[in-house]
Amino acid sequence: MSRKYFGTDGIRGRVGEHPITPQFMMHLGYAAGKVLASMGDARSERTGVLIGKDTRISGYMLESALEAGLIAAGIDVYLAGPVPTPAVAYLTRALRLQAGIVISASHNPFEDNGIKFFSAHGTKLPDETERAIEAALDEPMHTNASDGLGKAKRIDDAVGRYIEFCKSTFPVDLDLRGLKIVVDSAHGATYHIARYVFHELGADVIAIGAQPDGKNINDGYGATAPDNLSIAVVEHKADLGIALDGDGDRLVMVDSAGKLYDGDQLLYVIARHRQAQGLLRGGVVGTLMTNLAFEHAMQKLGIPFKRAKVGDRYVMELLQQQGWQLGGENSGHIICLGKHSTGDGIISALQVLHALMASGQSLAEAASDLHMYPQVLINVRVNKGVDCLGHDQVKSAVADAEQVLNGKGRVLLRPSGTEPLLRVMVEGEDQQLVERSAQRIADVVRKLAAS
């Protein structure tokens, strides 16, 4: 059965438009509460759910609506305030709660918002549970009697707990003294966390993108807009820069010259270091978007590599199937299962820093053996329900591109799981061929979308 509201990363949309409205969110809280209560531990009298959010102004409204719905269903609510998505995963496990809820639209602009659920184990909620919640949404909402209502409690030390957890993933015999680091929090959920993690481990930290006003999340700062980070690293003569996205689960870095390193390159640094230290358990999982050069580099190192569908939940599923611990996406979602139950930008940065400090290499040196293939990604806006992938003209354009690349590249078309976009990706050895091929396919899709 297909899901009506849940996409690859929860429920997401424009604030004020269904389903991102207070009415729907209250009903969602109630429906989720009833489903979670039915799955609760018989030893516990009442089910508990944690709610965290990023810095969007709409988070206050949606938090209140979810809280009301959950309490009406008899669920105790624990409010963490503004914290990163991976902090909710950690705190849900640490507090032994039934589930965690994140109010965030990740790297999207502030006008959007969304809801993500975590299980008691700190992993994304299983598909069958999401389907059960959707089924419960079709039922009317009936508030529990007064003696069956839940309660709400604010977790005052949520930020401190999470900072200490992040620091605990870094080796106790290493520190960051002597490093100057620029940390960009995208005016998002790590604004009051990330800088302190790195500072307390010994680094000299310059913080940017750390003044949220409810409307500036991801606006010109963060992992999806790293130009200001590159400029700041060069201006401050820093050793490197770290950029997180609005909800703190995505990471990119820049070296001392301001050069950008994406998720594939950072994953390579971690994987190579772990292999050298005998710490790599099994292989590495990437996605359909992982650069072909990364796959070839893993082969050269003798590290098994598999591709999952795009989305960190699918990377996680394949890691669990294989019994491996390390995987990620070129967008900057990196999963280190030995350290956390989900992707975490801060913890992933610490794994890169561990590799650099242990080897004595700079970021540029550690990634120098990975020669990335030119990769062009063009997002084409399409109306919901329009099947461009199955159209003969699109198929023909893809076939032409593959013929031009002559086995020395890849073409991938995929719909976005969070936005009304078709993503056209072409990669290969020749930059000009890649750019021309991607543009031709995108032009065909645009014409079809406009017709």
Over range 172-198, report the average pLDDT.
98
Instruction: Encode pLDDT of 126-164 as tens digits.
Output: 889 999 999 999 999 999 999 999 999 999 999 999 999
Task: Give CA–CA dist 246/349, Å, rounded.
Answer: 16
CB 74 within 8 A of CB 36: no
Instruction: Encode pLDDT of 106-116 as tens digits.
Output: 999 999 999 99
Over range 411-419, report the average pLDDT.
83
In CATH terms, 375-450 corresponds, of 3.30.310.50, 3.30.70.890, 3.40.50.300, 3.40.50.150, to 3.30.310.50
State the DSSP string of 278-345. T---S-EEEETTS-HHHHHHHHHHT--EEEE-SSHHHHHHHHHHHT--EEE-TTS-EEETTT-SS--H
3-state secondary structure of 254: strand
Q: Name the one residue in this structure whose structure tokens are 């072909």.
A: 292
Instruction: Encode pLDDT of 210-229 as tens digits.
Output: 999 999 999 999 999 999 99
> How far from 108 is each of 118, 213, 418, 439, CA to CA, in Å?
20, 16, 9, 24
Over range 313-328, report the average pLDDT.
96
Over range 95-119, report the average pLDDT.
96
Over range 411-425, report the average pLDDT.
86
Over range 418-440, report the average pLDDT.
91
> How far from 425 is each of 366, 428, 430, CA to CA, in Å?
27, 10, 14
Ranges of CATH 3.40.120.10 domains, the chain: 11-156, 171-259, 262-372
- Find the farthest-apart pair of alpha carbons in the chain and give their distance in angstroms, rounded: 70
The pLDDT assigned to 39 comes to 85
CB 369 within 8 A of CB 428: no
Task: Give CA–CA dist 209/169, Å, rounded.
Answer: 24
CATH architecture, range 11-156: 3-Layer(aba) Sandwich (3.40)
Instruction: Encode pLDDT of 350-360 as tens digits.
Output: 999 999 999 99
Percent of the chain with pLDDT over 70: 97
Q: If we measure between CA atoms, which residue out of 301, 232, 239 comes closest to residue 268?
A: 301
Q: Name the one residue in this structure whose structure tokens are 């940065």.
A: 349
The pLDDT assigned to 406 comes to 87
Q: Name the one residue in this structure whose structure tokens are 């009317």.
A: 140
Q: Characterize the bridge pairing of strands 112-119 and 99-103.
A: antiparallel
Q: Hey, how many other C-beta atoms are within 10 angstroms of the C-beta on 6?
A: 20
> How far from 9 is each of 24, 34, 82, 384, 424, CA to CA, in Å?
18, 22, 19, 17, 20
Residue 385 — very low, low, confident or very high, per pLDDT cuts 50/70/90?
A: low
The pLDDT assigned to 451 comes to 75
Q: Residue 264 is encoded by which pair of tokens?
A: 């594939």
> How far from 438 is each of 55, 399, 402, 429, 444, CA to CA, in Å?
36, 12, 11, 14, 10
The pLDDT assigned to 387 comes to 76
What is the CATH T-level fold of the domain 262-372, as seen in this structure?
Answer: Alpha-D-Glucose-1,6-Bisphosphate; Chain A, domain 3 (3.40.120)
Residue 418 — very low, low, confident or very high, per pLDDT cuts 50/70/90?
A: low
In the predicted structure, residue 444 carries a pLDDT above the cut 90: yes
Q: Residue 54 is encoded by which pair of tokens?
A: 């990023």
Q: If we measure between CA atoms, which residue out of 208, 262, 282 comes closest to residue 427?
A: 262
The pLDDT assigned to 41 comes to 60
The pLDDT assigned to 45 comes to 62
Over range 395-415, report the average pLDDT.
91
Task: Note the pTM of the prediction, 2 decimals.
Answer: 0.91
Instruction: Encode pLDDT of 26-72 as tens digits.
Output: 999 999 999 999 987 645 567 899 999 999 999 999 999 999 999 99
3-state secondary structure of 428: strand
Active-site amino acid positions: 106
Percent of the chain with pLDDT over 90: 88
CATH architecture, range 171-259: 3-Layer(aba) Sandwich (3.40)
Over range 180-191, report the average pLDDT.
98
